[in-house]
Amino acid sequence: MTATPPSLTPEDRAKLNALHGRLSALALRNIGYPCNQVFDYSELFRFLQFSLNNVGDPFTGSNYRLNTHEFEREVMEEFARLTRAPEDDWWGYVTGGGTEGNMYGLYVARELHPEGICYFSEDTHYSVAKILRLQHTRSIMIKSTPDGSMDCADLRETLRIHRDVPPIIFANIGSTMKGASDDLAAMRAILDELAITSAYIHADAALSGIILPFVKKPQPWNFADGADSISISGHKLLGCPLPCGVVLARRKNVDRIARSIEYVGVLDTTIAGSRSAITPLMLWYRLKSLGHEGIAQIVQRSLQLADYAITQLQARGIKAWRHTHSITVVFPRPPESMMKKWIIAPKKDIGHIITLPHVTESVIDEFASDFTDALKTQTKAKS
Protein backbone atom coordinates (compact mmCIF):
# COMPACT_ATOMS: atom_id res chain seq x y z
CA MET A 1 0.00 0.00 0.00
CA THR A 2 1.17 3.51 -0.77
CA ALA A 3 0.03 6.85 0.55
CA THR A 4 0.28 10.36 -0.80
CA PRO A 5 3.53 11.88 0.48
CA PRO A 6 2.88 14.48 3.17
CA SER A 7 2.90 18.05 1.94
CA LEU A 8 3.63 20.60 4.63
CA THR A 9 4.44 24.26 4.31
CA PRO A 10 7.92 25.30 5.45
CA GLU A 11 6.27 27.00 8.43
CA ASP A 12 4.45 23.81 9.46
CA ARG A 13 7.60 21.73 9.05
CA ALA A 14 9.53 24.24 11.16
CA LYS A 15 6.83 23.93 13.82
CA LEU A 16 7.29 20.15 13.95
CA ASN A 17 11.06 20.50 14.11
CA ALA A 18 10.74 22.99 16.96
CA LEU A 19 8.50 20.57 18.87
CA HIS A 20 11.02 17.76 18.41
CA GLY A 21 13.82 19.97 19.67
CA ARG A 22 11.83 21.05 22.72
CA LEU A 23 10.85 17.49 23.63
CA SER A 24 14.43 16.26 23.14
CA ALA A 25 15.66 18.88 25.61
CA LEU A 26 12.93 18.14 28.16
CA ALA A 27 13.03 14.33 28.11
CA LEU A 28 16.05 13.87 30.38
CA ARG A 29 14.72 16.53 32.79
CA ASN A 30 11.53 14.53 33.30
CA ILE A 31 12.48 13.12 36.69
CA GLY A 32 9.29 13.64 38.70
CA TYR A 33 6.97 11.46 36.63
CA PRO A 34 7.32 7.67 36.20
CA CYS A 35 7.99 7.46 32.45
CA ASN A 36 11.09 5.54 31.42
CA GLN A 37 12.68 7.36 28.46
CA VAL A 38 15.07 4.55 27.48
CA PHE A 39 13.54 2.40 24.74
CA ASP A 40 13.67 1.73 21.00
CA TYR A 41 10.61 0.57 19.07
CA SER A 42 11.88 1.41 15.59
CA GLU A 43 11.45 -2.23 14.51
CA LEU A 44 7.68 -1.77 14.89
CA PHE A 45 7.35 1.44 12.86
CA ARG A 46 6.30 -0.55 9.75
CA PHE A 47 3.04 -1.50 11.48
CA LEU A 48 1.92 2.14 11.52
CA GLN A 49 0.85 1.78 7.88
CA PHE A 50 -2.18 -0.27 8.96
CA SER A 51 -5.42 0.87 10.55
CA LEU A 52 -5.22 -1.57 13.44
CA ASN A 53 -7.90 -1.93 16.11
CA ASN A 54 -8.13 -4.37 19.02
CA VAL A 55 -11.85 -3.89 19.54
CA GLY A 56 -13.41 -6.31 22.00
CA ASP A 57 -12.23 -9.21 24.12
CA PRO A 58 -8.69 -10.32 23.15
CA PHE A 59 -9.54 -13.95 23.98
CA THR A 60 -12.64 -14.38 21.78
CA GLY A 61 -11.68 -12.85 18.43
CA SER A 62 -13.36 -10.13 16.39
CA ASN A 63 -14.92 -9.53 12.98
CA TYR A 64 -12.34 -6.75 12.59
CA ARG A 65 -9.34 -8.90 11.81
CA LEU A 66 -6.75 -6.14 11.45
CA ASN A 67 -5.81 -6.61 15.09
CA THR A 68 -3.00 -7.80 17.37
CA HIS A 69 -5.14 -9.89 19.71
CA GLU A 70 -2.70 -12.79 19.47
CA PHE A 71 0.10 -10.59 20.81
CA GLU A 72 -2.19 -9.06 23.43
CA ARG A 73 -2.99 -12.53 24.76
CA GLU A 74 0.71 -13.30 25.14
CA VAL A 75 1.20 -10.02 27.00
CA MET A 76 -1.62 -10.85 29.38
CA GLU A 77 -0.31 -14.38 29.95
CA GLU A 78 3.03 -12.92 31.03
CA PHE A 79 1.41 -10.43 33.39
CA ALA A 80 -0.77 -13.21 34.79
CA ARG A 81 2.44 -15.06 35.73
CA LEU A 82 3.99 -11.93 37.22
CA THR A 83 0.91 -11.21 39.36
CA ARG A 84 0.42 -14.87 40.39
CA ALA A 85 -3.08 -14.91 38.93
CA PRO A 86 -5.10 -18.06 39.69
CA GLU A 87 -4.60 -20.62 36.92
CA ASP A 88 -7.65 -20.90 34.63
CA ASP A 89 -9.47 -18.20 36.60
CA TRP A 90 -8.11 -14.91 35.32
CA TRP A 91 -8.83 -12.51 32.49
CA GLY A 92 -7.37 -9.20 31.34
CA TYR A 93 -6.61 -6.82 28.53
CA VAL A 94 -4.25 -4.01 27.54
CA THR A 95 -5.69 -0.67 28.63
CA GLY A 96 -5.01 2.94 27.73
CA GLY A 97 -3.32 3.46 31.10
CA GLY A 98 -3.66 3.17 34.86
CA THR A 99 -6.90 5.14 35.14
CA GLU A 100 -8.72 2.79 32.76
CA GLY A 101 -7.34 -0.19 34.65
CA ASN A 102 -8.57 1.19 37.95
CA MET A 103 -11.93 2.03 36.40
CA TYR A 104 -12.26 -1.55 35.20
CA GLY A 105 -11.45 -3.03 38.60
CA LEU A 106 -13.94 -0.73 40.31
CA TYR A 107 -16.53 -1.43 37.60
CA VAL A 108 -16.32 -5.19 38.20
CA ALA A 109 -16.50 -4.59 41.96
CA ARG A 110 -19.55 -2.32 41.63
CA GLU A 111 -21.34 -4.84 39.39
CA LEU A 112 -20.71 -7.59 41.94
CA HIS A 113 -21.69 -5.37 44.88
CA PRO A 114 -24.13 -2.69 43.64
CA GLU A 115 -24.72 -1.43 47.19
CA GLY A 116 -21.07 -1.66 48.21
CA ILE A 117 -18.95 1.11 49.70
CA CYS A 118 -15.49 1.80 48.31
CA TYR A 119 -12.72 2.56 50.82
CA PHE A 120 -9.59 4.36 49.61
CA SER A 121 -6.85 6.30 51.36
CA GLU A 122 -6.17 10.02 51.16
CA ASP A 123 -2.95 9.21 49.25
CA THR A 124 -4.86 7.51 46.43
CA HIS A 125 -4.47 8.88 42.89
CA TYR A 126 -6.84 11.76 42.13
CA SER A 127 -8.55 9.84 39.31
CA VAL A 128 -10.13 7.34 41.70
CA ALA A 129 -12.53 9.83 43.27
CA LYS A 130 -13.55 10.83 39.74
CA ILE A 131 -14.13 7.20 38.74
CA LEU A 132 -16.30 6.63 41.79
CA ARG A 133 -18.40 9.70 40.94
CA LEU A 134 -18.82 8.50 37.35
CA GLN A 135 -19.90 5.06 38.53
CA HIS A 136 -22.11 6.42 41.33
CA THR A 137 -20.33 4.21 43.85
CA ARG A 138 -20.60 5.13 47.51
CA SER A 139 -17.19 5.78 49.04
CA ILE A 140 -15.37 6.70 52.24
CA MET A 141 -11.85 8.12 52.37
CA ILE A 142 -9.58 6.44 54.93
CA LYS A 143 -6.74 8.22 56.71
CA SER A 144 -3.16 7.70 55.58
CA THR A 145 -0.20 7.22 57.88
CA PRO A 146 2.68 9.74 57.56
CA ASP A 147 4.52 7.38 55.19
CA GLY A 148 1.60 7.43 52.73
CA SER A 149 0.06 4.01 53.36
CA MET A 150 -3.55 3.37 54.36
CA ASP A 151 -4.18 3.57 58.11
CA CYS A 152 -5.42 0.06 58.82
CA ALA A 153 -6.73 1.02 62.26
CA ASP A 154 -8.99 3.63 60.65
CA LEU A 155 -9.99 1.12 57.98
CA ARG A 156 -10.90 -1.48 60.59
CA GLU A 157 -13.05 0.92 62.60
CA THR A 158 -14.82 2.23 59.50
CA LEU A 159 -15.48 -1.30 58.23
CA ARG A 160 -16.83 -2.24 61.66
CA ILE A 161 -19.33 0.60 61.54
CA HIS A 162 -20.49 -0.36 58.04
CA ARG A 163 -19.99 -4.13 58.27
CA ASP A 164 -23.51 -4.78 56.90
CA VAL A 165 -22.46 -3.34 53.50
CA PRO A 166 -20.03 -5.19 51.18
CA PRO A 167 -16.69 -3.36 51.16
CA ILE A 168 -14.77 -2.52 47.98
CA ILE A 169 -11.21 -1.76 49.09
CA PHE A 170 -8.96 0.21 46.76
CA ALA A 171 -5.34 -0.56 47.66
CA ASN A 172 -2.32 1.45 46.53
CA ILE A 173 0.69 -0.68 45.62
CA GLY A 174 3.13 2.21 45.29
CA SER A 175 1.22 5.44 46.01
CA THR A 176 1.57 8.37 43.64
CA MET A 177 3.62 10.75 45.77
CA LYS A 178 5.37 8.56 48.36
CA GLY A 179 5.57 5.13 46.75
CA ALA A 180 3.78 3.53 49.71
CA SER A 181 2.14 0.11 49.47
CA ASP A 182 -1.02 -0.64 51.39
CA ASP A 183 -0.97 -3.88 53.39
CA LEU A 184 -3.15 -6.46 51.61
CA ALA A 185 -2.42 -9.09 54.25
CA ALA A 186 -3.63 -6.75 57.00
CA MET A 187 -6.74 -5.90 54.98
CA ARG A 188 -7.64 -9.56 54.53
CA ALA A 189 -7.01 -10.16 58.25
CA ILE A 190 -9.39 -7.32 59.16
CA LEU A 191 -12.09 -8.76 56.89
CA ASP A 192 -11.65 -12.17 58.53
CA GLU A 193 -11.71 -10.67 62.03
CA LEU A 194 -14.96 -8.84 61.30
CA ALA A 195 -16.44 -11.94 59.61
CA ILE A 196 -16.97 -10.02 56.37
CA THR A 197 -17.19 -12.68 53.68
CA SER A 198 -18.44 -10.59 50.76
CA ALA A 199 -15.71 -8.12 49.80
CA TYR A 200 -13.56 -7.01 46.85
CA ILE A 201 -9.97 -5.69 46.77
CA HIS A 202 -8.55 -3.85 43.77
CA ALA A 203 -4.79 -3.19 43.69
CA ASP A 204 -3.47 -0.14 41.87
CA ALA A 205 0.06 -1.32 41.11
CA ALA A 206 0.72 1.23 38.36
CA LEU A 207 4.47 1.52 38.96
CA SER A 208 5.31 -1.13 41.57
CA GLY A 209 3.50 -3.94 39.77
CA ILE A 210 6.46 -4.41 37.45
CA ILE A 211 9.01 -3.95 40.27
CA LEU A 212 7.77 -6.30 42.98
CA PRO A 213 7.93 -9.52 40.89
CA PHE A 214 11.68 -8.95 40.52
CA VAL A 215 12.74 -8.27 44.13
CA LYS A 216 13.34 -10.53 47.10
CA LYS A 217 10.63 -10.65 49.76
CA PRO A 218 8.11 -8.26 48.16
CA GLN A 219 5.30 -6.96 50.33
CA PRO A 220 1.88 -8.65 49.83
CA TRP A 221 0.37 -7.20 46.64
CA ASN A 222 -0.81 -9.78 44.11
CA PHE A 223 -3.64 -12.27 43.52
CA ALA A 224 -2.04 -14.86 45.79
CA ASP A 225 -2.04 -12.23 48.55
CA GLY A 226 -5.74 -11.47 48.20
CA ALA A 227 -6.25 -9.05 45.31
CA ASP A 228 -9.34 -9.54 43.14
CA SER A 229 -8.09 -7.30 40.33
CA ILE A 230 -4.81 -5.53 39.55
CA SER A 231 -3.92 -2.59 37.33
CA ILE A 232 -0.33 -2.01 36.10
CA SER A 233 1.00 0.72 33.78
CA GLY A 234 3.00 -0.26 30.72
CA HIS A 235 4.60 3.07 29.86
CA LYS A 236 6.19 3.59 33.26
CA LEU A 237 9.02 1.25 34.23
CA LEU A 238 9.01 -0.73 30.97
CA GLY A 239 8.91 2.44 28.87
CA CYS A 240 6.62 3.11 25.92
CA PRO A 241 5.97 6.21 23.76
CA LEU A 242 2.20 5.74 24.18
CA PRO A 243 0.32 5.60 27.51
CA CYS A 244 -0.82 2.04 28.17
CA GLY A 245 -1.26 -0.56 30.85
CA VAL A 246 -2.86 -3.87 31.73
CA VAL A 247 -5.70 -4.88 34.00
CA LEU A 248 -6.30 -8.40 35.29
CA ALA A 249 -9.29 -9.76 37.21
CA ARG A 250 -10.66 -13.09 38.32
CA ARG A 251 -12.50 -14.62 35.35
CA LYS A 252 -15.46 -15.79 37.41
CA ASN A 253 -16.14 -12.13 38.25
CA VAL A 254 -15.61 -10.87 34.69
CA ASP A 255 -18.02 -13.49 33.33
CA ARG A 256 -20.74 -11.85 35.39
CA ILE A 257 -20.53 -8.64 33.33
CA ALA A 258 -19.78 -9.93 29.78
CA ARG A 259 -22.19 -9.03 26.95
CA SER A 260 -22.18 -10.31 23.36
CA ILE A 261 -22.10 -7.67 20.58
CA GLU A 262 -23.10 -9.06 17.16
CA TYR A 263 -22.00 -5.98 15.15
CA VAL A 264 -18.29 -6.56 15.76
CA GLY A 265 -18.55 -10.22 16.71
CA VAL A 266 -17.02 -9.80 20.17
CA LEU A 267 -17.76 -10.11 23.83
CA ASP A 268 -18.07 -6.66 25.36
CA THR A 269 -15.83 -7.16 28.37
CA THR A 270 -13.62 -4.06 28.11
CA ILE A 271 -14.22 -0.42 29.05
CA ALA A 272 -13.33 1.01 25.64
CA GLY A 273 -14.80 -0.19 22.33
CA SER A 274 -12.06 0.56 19.83
CA ARG A 275 -8.70 -0.04 21.49
CA SER A 276 -5.10 0.51 20.45
CA ALA A 277 -3.55 -2.46 18.69
CA ILE A 278 -0.12 -0.80 18.69
CA THR A 279 0.39 -0.67 22.46
CA PRO A 280 -0.16 -4.45 22.92
CA LEU A 281 2.39 -4.97 20.14
CA MET A 282 4.84 -2.63 21.87
CA LEU A 283 4.40 -4.31 25.25
CA TRP A 284 4.87 -7.72 23.62
CA TYR A 285 8.05 -6.49 21.89
CA ARG A 286 9.39 -4.99 25.12
CA LEU A 287 8.69 -8.09 27.20
CA LYS A 288 10.19 -10.41 24.59
CA SER A 289 13.29 -8.31 23.86
CA LEU A 290 14.10 -7.70 27.53
CA GLY A 291 13.15 -11.06 28.99
CA HIS A 292 12.98 -11.57 32.75
CA GLU A 293 16.69 -10.90 33.11
CA GLY A 294 16.47 -7.59 31.27
CA ILE A 295 13.51 -6.39 33.34
CA ALA A 296 15.26 -7.46 36.54
CA GLN A 297 18.28 -5.40 35.49
CA ILE A 298 16.09 -2.31 34.95
CA VAL A 299 14.54 -2.83 38.39
CA GLN A 300 17.91 -3.22 40.13
CA ARG A 301 19.41 -0.27 38.27
CA SER A 302 16.44 1.91 39.25
CA LEU A 303 16.71 0.89 42.92
CA GLN A 304 20.45 1.63 42.89
CA LEU A 305 19.77 5.05 41.40
CA ALA A 306 17.20 5.71 44.13
CA ASP A 307 19.79 4.99 46.81
CA TYR A 308 22.31 7.16 44.99
CA ALA A 309 19.83 10.04 44.88
CA ILE A 310 19.13 9.74 48.60
CA THR A 311 22.86 9.74 49.37
CA GLN A 312 23.51 12.80 47.22
CA LEU A 313 20.59 14.79 48.60
CA GLN A 314 21.31 13.88 52.23
CA ALA A 315 24.97 14.84 51.75
CA ARG A 316 23.70 18.35 50.95
CA GLY A 317 21.47 18.50 54.03
CA ILE A 318 18.24 17.69 52.14
CA LYS A 319 16.10 15.08 53.88
CA ALA A 320 15.35 12.32 51.39
CA TRP A 321 13.92 8.83 51.79
CA ARG A 322 12.12 5.99 50.02
CA HIS A 323 10.06 2.95 50.87
CA THR A 324 11.48 -0.56 50.57
CA HIS A 325 11.33 -1.72 46.92
CA SER A 326 10.25 1.76 45.81
CA ILE A 327 12.06 3.97 43.29
CA THR A 328 10.14 7.08 44.42
CA VAL A 329 12.58 9.32 46.32
CA VAL A 330 10.73 11.78 48.56
CA PHE A 331 12.09 15.12 49.83
CA PRO A 332 10.84 18.56 50.96
CA ARG A 333 9.11 20.59 48.25
CA PRO A 334 11.78 22.30 46.11
CA PRO A 335 11.73 26.07 45.53
CA GLU A 336 9.54 27.17 42.61
CA SER A 337 12.63 28.24 40.66
CA MET A 338 13.47 24.53 40.23
CA MET A 339 10.31 23.97 38.20
CA LYS A 340 11.62 26.04 35.28
CA LYS A 341 14.39 23.56 34.55
CA TRP A 342 13.19 20.29 36.04
CA ILE A 343 9.92 18.42 35.48
CA ILE A 344 8.96 17.64 39.08
CA ALA A 345 5.62 16.65 40.63
CA PRO A 346 5.18 18.55 43.92
CA LYS A 347 2.24 18.19 46.28
CA LYS A 348 1.76 20.31 49.39
CA ASP A 349 5.05 20.23 51.31
CA ILE A 350 6.85 17.44 49.43
CA GLY A 351 8.31 16.64 46.04
CA HIS A 352 9.78 13.50 44.56
CA ILE A 353 11.88 12.10 41.77
CA ILE A 354 11.41 8.66 40.28
CA THR A 355 14.70 7.04 39.40
CA LEU A 356 14.05 5.30 36.12
CA PRO A 357 17.07 4.46 33.91
CA HIS A 358 17.20 7.83 32.13
CA VAL A 359 17.71 9.52 35.53
CA THR A 360 21.44 8.74 35.59
CA GLU A 361 23.99 9.60 38.28
CA SER A 362 25.02 12.73 36.35
CA VAL A 363 21.38 13.86 36.13
CA ILE A 364 20.98 13.27 39.88
CA ASP A 365 24.20 15.18 40.63
CA GLU A 366 22.99 18.13 38.56
CA PHE A 367 19.57 18.09 40.22
CA ALA A 368 21.04 17.90 43.73
CA SER A 369 23.41 20.78 42.97
CA ASP A 370 20.57 22.91 41.57
CA PHE A 371 18.45 22.06 44.62
CA THR A 372 21.20 23.26 46.96
CA ASP A 373 21.71 26.50 44.99
CA ALA A 374 17.96 27.17 44.90
CA LEU A 375 17.69 26.73 48.68
CA LYS A 376 20.60 29.14 49.23
CA THR A 377 18.98 31.73 46.94
CA GLN A 378 15.67 31.29 48.72
CA THR A 379 17.31 31.77 52.14
CA LYS A 380 19.08 34.95 50.98
CA ALA A 381 15.84 36.35 49.58
CA LYS A 382 14.10 35.86 52.91
CA SER A 383 16.91 37.44 54.98
Provide the angle, in degrees to the nearest 10, between the axes of the packed helices 278-315 and 69-82: 40
Give the Å distances, CA to CA, from 161 to 215, 254, 354.
38, 29, 38
Q: Give pLDDT, residue 380.
A: 80
> CA 55 to CA 58: how far, in whole Å?
8
Q: Give pLDDT, residue 267.
A: 65
> 241 by DSSP, 3-state: which?
coil
First to last CA, the chain: 69
In this structure, the answer to whether residues 298 and 264 fall within a common structural domain is no
- Structure-model confidence comparison of residues 366 and 273, the more confident one: 366
Q: Is 326 a catalytic residue?
A: yes
* pLDDT tens, position by position, 75-134: 999 999 999 999 999 999 999 999 999 999 999 999 999 999 999 999 999 999 999 999
In this structure, the answer to whether residues 279 and 362 fall within a common structural domain is no
In this structure, the answer to whether residues 168 and 90 fall within a common structural domain is yes
CATH number at residue 206: 3.40.640.10
Q: Give pLDDT, residue 269.
A: 85
Instruction: Name the least confident of 124-133, 266-275, 347-356.
Output: 266-275
Mean per-residue pLDDT for 29-38?
95
In this structure, the answer to whether residues 91 and 177 fall within a common structural domain is yes
* pLDDT tens, position by position, 283-340: 999 999 999 999 999 999 999 999 999 999 999 999 999 999 999 999 999 999 998 8
Local confidence band at 381 (pLDDT 50, 70, 90 cut-offs): confident
The catalytic position among 326, 337, 362, 369 is 326
Write out the residue range of the structural domain in which residue 370 sits: 293-382
Q: Is 4 exposed, middle or buried, given 0-12, 13-18 or 19+ CB atoms closer than 10 A?
A: exposed
Q: Give pLDDT, residue 325.
A: 98
Local confidence band at 265 (pLDDT 50, 70, 90 cut-offs): very low
**Within-domain flag for 311:** yes
Instruction: Name the least confident of 1-10, 150-159, 239-248.
Output: 1-10
* pLDDT tens, position by position, 177-226: 999 999 999 999 999 999 999 999 999 999 999 999 999 999 999 999 99
**Within-domain flag for 201:** yes
Per the structure, the count of domains in the chain is 2
**Summary mean pLDDT of the chain:** 94
